[in-house]
Structure 1
Amino acid sequence: MAEQLSETAKIEREAPALTGRAILGATIGNMLEFYDFITYSFFAIQIGHTFFPAQSQFNSLMLSLATFGAGFITRPIGALVIGAYSDRVGRRPAMMLSFAMMGSAIVALALIPSYDAIGVAAPVLAIVARLAQGFSLGGEVGPTTAYLMEAAAADKRGIAVAWQPASQQIAATAGSLMGLALSALLSSEALESYGWRIAFLFGALTLPFGLWMRSNLPETLHRREEMASVASSAKGRGPVRGNARIVILGLLILASGTIITYVTQYMTTYAENTLRVSTNVAFATTAVSNGAGIVGALCGGWLADRAGRWPVMVWPQFLALLMTYPVFLWIVATHSAWALLGGLGVLTLVGSIPYSAFYVAFTESLPKNIRGRAGATIYAVAIAAFGGTAQLIVTWLIHATGSALAPAWYMLFATAVGLVAMTVMRESAPVLTKPQCRSEPES
């Protein structure tokens, strides 16, 4: 029995490097997560009318948004439970569990009857579905990122892990396009009756495909790694206290990235309500921004494999800090499509580069025995605390100050915090030794 286990461990350590199919299988959960996020935001009014009929449209919308926010509450719990499961049992079973729960919750939300049909049970079931979805999402990012890093060849970890943030941008684009398509094809009555359900069920179509893809992934928990010296747990202080430095830095940087991401996703509403530009330009702003984010994320991973993690984090983040206020000043002064599409597109492109390098550096810096749960928990806490409040804070700042530049102030603050934390992070890229040429002895 011991020999069989030893042979299994040897096979897993010598598993082939990550393939495109494995990348898709690992990141499909991230795609479904962000697709759901965008879809819910797009149809929040219709969902509110279905499950939360109220005396005013405002109250109905607020109850709908509160239900969406309920999913943030259970994210840290799911991160601890599913993340620990990935560290103890394996990345693949943890990813299977989170994806199955996530897909089931989306299907349930799409099929729950309306308040008119089943009364108070409708909002109760909707809240339960969101809580279950939040739990599963909390355990998705940590094990997935750990898997991408562990399965990739040592000199290709950056580009492999970069597909994690890139997949989120791809899904956000798909969600936006689905919302636009349904809005164009269906009447307002049809959208409220069943159109929003079609959008969720379309995303749920990935459930059987994703489960099949993930079931065929090789396990990486026992693979041998080439690491820099930073990924070591201090003896006698426990796994978390022994790595408190990277945990705190990771939380600060993820909070920074979360704020920037959610403020950027707010730009459609900002363009329409604050800048008073046309609806087409407002939606195009989000589409261009998401596209630039995909390119930036992949460029960041590619550069991190060639130049190291630290410089690819720090210098693009510094450039984004310098660009943020001038870009928003240009947008507010001109209200032009060029400023919105070009300025925000370039800012998103540059601002996406450092976070891909950070994801791989952060994952490499965590010891393998806590990598899944620590990565998942820190990400979930950052999303819950800062993602759920970012758009509310920006809206309040615009209202309180009367300035259309308020989003720039919040983004500047977040970018500066992230830059300081990135600056004090240590380089984590493995030092790859090249095979030495042996000289033949002279005859």
Structure 2
Amino acid sequence: MDATTAVSRAGTRQNSWRAVVAASIGNALEWFDLVVYGFFAVIIAKLFFPAGNETVSLLLTLGTFGVSFFMRPLGAVVIGAYADRAGRKAALTLSIVLMMGGTLIIAVLPTYSSIGLAAPVILVIARLMQGFSAGGEFGSATAFLAEHVPGRRGFFASWQVASQGLTTLLAAGFGALLTGQLSPQHMASWGWRVPFVFGLLIGPVAWYIRTRLDETPEFLAAETTTTPLRDTFTSQKLRLLIAIGVVVLGTVSTYLVLYMPTYGVKQLGLAPSVAFGAIALTGVIQMLFAPLVGHLSDRYGRTTIMLAPALLLLVLIYPAFVYLIAHPSFGTLITLQIVFGFLMTGYFAALPGLLSEMFPVQTRTTGMSLAYNIAVTIFGGFGPFIIAWLIGFTGSKAAPSYYLIFAAVVSLVALMAARRKLGFR
């Protein structure tokens, strides 16, 4: 290898890891702001949606969590198409600015006791801004990561999932620290705002890094289209449908983890700090295990890697919940979170690489954004609400497992279609 080639390869590696840092820190912040809202749902319910019935109040809060997901397909269309026309860098910068705006509103918003009905209305508007931003984030960040080193799409795209693990760890860490150290009065007064303020402090750093990135080589080398949305719906409908199905299990399992602190407190009577500690462990597993799964998917194939955890989730989730309900202790919850964390990551970490290969460069961000956000809106955003409703309707504390079993069946069918119809391995 001559000196010029060595320098060129070193520069490529440096640019690739710079892309990982830029996409990961911004993506982690985007998801941190969204996840924190779900983790503090019980407190937000009392402050912004006071009602005579605690269950009604909580359902209203979880419903507001889900309402923001109505904006995600719109964000996917607008920001995804923008990324396919103007570039991944431009879309990533736009999404971080929008997310910071929504977070700022939530961080300083007076509660219902101060401004009445205006409080929940403004809160919904802020959540809609965050949902719109997040709708364009996944596709833009995944395309940005996957296109730097096409031969290692699975590994580099998996950092999208690893950064979400960092999000879970940070959000759970805040939850455990704040609920463990502050009194309920202090939590209701100001403690719940601390994570949102943290997000505001990190936001400008993420924005600065993203504005100084280079565009992906694969995007620069490709011919762009002025109609990525129309092209996706006219010539790639089957790919879009299969991609939506594949995402279902990934999003349901992710948002079931998000719901676990509320589940542990409301259904099992565990202390909030204990529940948050269990969630933090899941974040660590996702953050460390995801790149390995991505690497293995490059070597053995995306669907090959994803089938095993999908099948295990289908078979094991119900008995795991039954055992947790019978033995509602910290040790049992930790054991469940470890098993669930590895299986969820084993499936989810190979997903971005698979999605990035389903669509050509010209419509990649649009296609991925639509598939991901349609699935997330329908099956993930309202996941906590659906789970809470299922528990009330069936009278069974094991009801969360029913929803995950349904998701596993849908995604297994989609994975087999990806293998047989599209030729993925």
Asked whether the two chains share a fold, i.e. TM above 0.5, the reply is: yes
Residue 69 to residue 409, structure 1, CA distance change in 2 (3 Å): closer
C-alpha displacement of 1:45: 4.2
Distance, in Å, in 1 between the alignment partners of 2:261 and 2:134 is: 25
Match for residue 22 of structure 1? 19
C-alpha displacement of 1:163: 0.9
Distance, in Å, in 1 between the alignment partners of 2:62 and 2:340 is: 29
Distance, in Å, in 1 between the alignment partners of 2:237 and 2:302 is: 20
Unpaired stretches in structure 2, ≥5 consecutive residues: 1-9, 223-229
Residue 43 to residue 343, structure 1, CA distance change in 2 (3 Å): closer
Match for residue 248 of structure 2? 255
Q: How does 1:192-271 map to 2 (within 5 A)?
A: 192-220=188-216, 222-224=219-221, 238-271=231-264
Match for residue 404 of structure 2? 411
Tell me, yes or no, if structure 1 residue 183 matches structure 2 residue 176: no
Match for residue 136 of structure 1? 133
C-alpha displacement of 1:106: 0.3
- Cα deviations by residue, 1:54-97 (Å, 9 ceiling, x for unpaired): 56655554444443333112111111011100000100011100
Match for residue 104 of structure 1? 101
Tell me, yes or no, if structure 1 residue 125 matches structure 2 residue 118: no
Give TM-score scaled by structure 1 length. 0.83
Distance, in Å, in 1 between the alignment partners of 2:273 and 2:194 is: 23
Match for residue 310 of structure 1? 303
Instruction: Report the secondary structure of 1:403's partner residue.
Output: coil
Match for residue 28 of structure 2? 31
Report which of the two structures shows the higher radius of gyration computed on alpha carbons: 1
Distance, in Å, in 1 between the alignment partners of 2:264 and 2:41 is: 19
Give TM-score scaled by structure 2 length. 0.86
Distance, in Å, in 1 between the alignment partners of 2:332 and 2:48 is: 39
Q: Residue 79 of structure 1: which of 57, 76, 81 is its match?
A: 76
Instruction: Report the secondary structure of 1:74's partner residue.
Output: helix
Is the Cα contact below 8 Å between 2:59 and 2:385 reproduced in 1? no
C-alpha displacement of 1:383: 1.4
Distance, in Å, in 1 between the alignment partners of 2:177 and 2:323 is: 31
Q: Residue 346 of structure 1: which of 339, 344, 347 is its match?
A: 339
Residue 97 to residue 417, structure 1, CA distance change in 2 (3 Å): same
Is the Cα contact below 8 Å between 1:256 and 1:415 reproduced in 2? yes
C-alpha displacement of 1:333: 4.2
Distance, in Å, in 2 between the alignment partners of 1:83 and 1:113 is: 33
Residue 400 to residue 376, structure 1, CA distance change in 2 (3 Å): same
C-alpha displacement of 1:44: 3.0
Residue 209 to residue 55, structure 1, CA distance change in 2 (3 Å): same
Instruction: Report the secondary structure of 1:266's partner residue.
Output: helix
Match for residue 370 of structure 2? 377
Aligned residues with identical type, % of pairs = 37
Deviates more, 1:314-323 or 1:171-180: 314-323
Tell me, yes or no, if structure 1 residue 402 matches structure 2 residue 399: no
- Tell me how large the CA RMSD over aligned residues is: 2.9
Match for residue 282 of structure 2? 289
Q: Which amino acid aligns with 2:159?
A: W
Is the Cα contact below 8 Å between 2:39 and 2:259 reproduced in 1? no
Residue 320 to residue 66, structure 1, CA distance change in 2 (3 Å): closer
Q: Residue 166 of structure 2: which of 160, 163, 170 is its match?
A: 170
| Number of residue pairs matched by the alignment | 406
Instruction: Report the secondary structure of 2:418's partner residue.
Output: coil
Tell me, yes or no, if structure 1 residue 365 matches structure 2 residue 362: no
Instruction: Report the secondary structure of 1:139's partner residue.
Output: helix
Residue 256 to residue 119, structure 1, CA distance change in 2 (3 Å): same
Distance, in Å, in 1 between the alignment partners of 2:412 and 2:56 is: 39
Is the Cα contact below 8 Å between 1:295 and 1:349 reproduced in 2? no
Distance, in Å, in 1 between the alignment partners of 2:403 and 2:391 is: 11
Deviates more, 1:23-32 or 1:142-151: 23-32
Residue 190 to residue 255, structure 1, CA distance change in 2 (3 Å): same
Q: Which amino acid aligns with 2:97?
A: A
Is the Cα contact below 8 Å between 1:296 and 1:348 reproduced in 2? no
Distance, in Å, in 2 between the alignment partners of 1:328 and 1:70 is: 28
